Amino acid sequence: MSKQAKELRDLSADDLGLKLKEFQRELFEIRNKNHVEKKNAEPAQTKNLKKGIARILTILREKELGINA
């Protein structure tokens, strides 16, 4: 398990929700910027944000089901 996943699992569901909104907002801003400028300026950051969003959604689902990983 990655260090980031361990840190995220320690957060409450509310904190994870806030973190999720933050990541989604950042991803939207990057995609919007790339669309306006017609180039993909930050592909690595886009990839990391998408993975972070997926990681948070997975942890939220684990908490919902009561799975301790």
**Is the per-residue pLDDT at 41 higher than 80?**
no
How does residue 46 score in pLDDT terms, banded at 50, 70 and 90?
very high
**Is the per-residue pLDDT at 37 higher than 90?**
no
pLDDT for position 1:
62
Other beta carbons within 10 angstroms of residue 17's beta carbon come to 13
Place of tokens 């991803």: 27
How many angstroms separate the CA atoms of 26 and 23, rounded? 5
Do 23 and 52 contact (CB within 8 A), yes or no?
A: yes
Percent of the chain with pLDDT over 70: 97
**Is the per-residue pLDDT at 69 higher than 70?**
no
